[in-house]
Amino acid sequence: MSKTLFSPLSVGALELPNRVVMAPLTRSRASQPGDVPNAMNARYYAQRATAGLIVSEATQISRQGQGYAFTPGIYTDAQERGWQIVTDAVHAAGGRIALQLWHVGRISHRALQEGGQAPVAPSALRSDTGESFVVLPEGPKRVPCDAPRALDTAELPGIVADYARAAERALRAGFDMLELHSANGYLLQQFLATNTNQRTDAYGGSLENRARLVLEVMDAIIAVAGSQRVGVRISPHFTRHDIADTETEAIHLHLAREFDRRGVAYIHVAEPDWAGGPSLTADFRKQLRQAYGGRLIVCGNYTADSAQARLDEGLADAVAFGRPYIANPDLVERMRRGAALNKPDTATFYGGGERGYTDYPLLQEQVAA
């Protein structure tokens, strides 16, 4: 039988009922104080449990790793308990969910950092276009990112340990898998990119050195969870947040080979076209497939038809959808039936309550009406 979006797929230790993945979506609705996941978040994710796999919104591994107000963390007991509410709800609805582990690096602001400290980065280079979302005395607002300080070599084992502790908490909270966020211009991609990493120690300079921290973090997470419960998100050719990597394909192919050697369950490719960039070339897709033998998940401006075409090429095993999942909790059923999609309300993407979050109608409700 030919594989379709609706065919089952094994991914590491999981058996997915279909190849439709819910991509990570920042929605900024964690409870305060403490950036704690809550019952409303649980309802939101449970509504979307028919996805083959849900990847949670990016979740900071530490206070230092936060770049936006109201995003959830996974470094306190309260956050761990909050995520347990979410995973219980998803599992009760028959779903599977991975937690995305995140450190923003320089895409942050002193208002979010412990004691008003500067954000951290591979090198002390500010993102000219990056923005952070903070709560100031006059209210919540978007602000330019603050200038970061360069991480000292001696601090890097602590960053790795933060990822490992977050992985331990995520497993205790009931997540089925873990996804390492090494994409979208955040800390780990800042180490990868030639323009944001100007270090002269063992973590800068050569391609292998720039990839070192990503692989050390991956090894630490695998030591906690086992390789078959771990995936990773990458974004070759990503240019937002002032990323300009002259070796983007070479370093990501190097990582793919290293992930393959470690038995990582999947690579989740965030394609640059979602952010207005070019499509990945067929040649690079083929090289990625040759470099890595695990499951490949792609995510971009896909429709049901273009997703199926990508599967037919044999250059992806599953397709992740982002914005369509905001407004269509039953996206799998809508795609299966060729039904129209609800349009998302952009005004309610970030922050707020149930409106624009858990109140989008299901197809069966619209048909009944």
Q: Which residue has the higher pLDDT, 261 or 368?
A: 261
Question: pLDDT at position 366, please?
Answer: 76
1: confidence class by pLDDT, cuts 50, 70, 90? very low
Nearest-angstrom CA–CA distance, 275 and 337:
28
Geometric angle at alpha carbon 61, from 40 and 291, rounded to 5°: 105
Which residue range is the domain that position 98 belongs to?
9-326
Strands 149-150 and 139-144, bridge-based pairing: unpaired
Question: pLDDT at position 274, please?
Answer: 72
157 is a domain residue = yes
Q: How far is CA 335 from the centre of its chain?
A: 23
215 is a domain residue = yes
Q: Which residues contact 66 (CB under 8 A, 6 or more apart)?
A: 35, 60, 73, 104, 108, 112, 113
Q: How far is residue 16 from each of residues 6, 12, 113, measured CA to CA in Å?
A: 10, 10, 38
Nearest-angstrom CA–CA distance, 35 and 74:
9
364: confidence class by pLDDT, cuts 50, 70, 90? confident
Question: pLDDT at position 197, please?
Answer: 99
363 is a domain residue = no
Asked if 107 and 186 count as a contact pair (C-beta separation under 8 A), the reply is yes
- The pLDDT > 90 percentage for the chain reads 94
Concerning whether 68 is annotated as a catalytic residue, the answer is: no
Query: The domain that contains 228 carries what CATH number?
Result: 3.20.20.70
Question: pLDDT at position 275, please?
Answer: 66
Question: pLDDT at position 3, please?
Answer: 78
358 is a domain residue = no
168: confidence class by pLDDT, cuts 50, 70, 90? very high
359 is a domain residue = no
Average pLDDT over residues 301-330: 97
CB atoms within 10 A of CB 209: 16
Asked if 191 and 206 count as a contact pair (C-beta separation under 8 A), the reply is no
368 is a domain residue = no
Please state at what angle helix 77-92 crosses helix 156-172, rounded to 10 degrees: 40
Whole-prediction pTM: 0.97
Average pLDDT across the chain, whole number: 97
Average pLDDT over residues 20-43: 99
pLDDT per position as a tens digit, 135-144: 988 888 999 9
338 is a domain residue = no
Q: Structural domain tally of the chain?
A: 1
What's the sign of the alpha-carbon dihedral 347, 348, 352, 353? positive
Nearest-angstrom CA–CA distance, 9 and 318:
8
Backbone angles phi, psi at 26, to 5 degrees: -70, 125
- Residues 343/344/347/349 CA torsion (nearest 10 deg): -170
336 is a domain residue = no
Q: Which of 44, 45, 75, 186 is the catalytic position? A: 186
Average pLDDT over residues 104-117: 98
pLDDT at 184 over 80: yes
The total number of residues shown for the chain amounts to: 369
Average pLDDT over residues 303-311: 97
369: confidence class by pLDDT, cuts 50, 70, 90? low
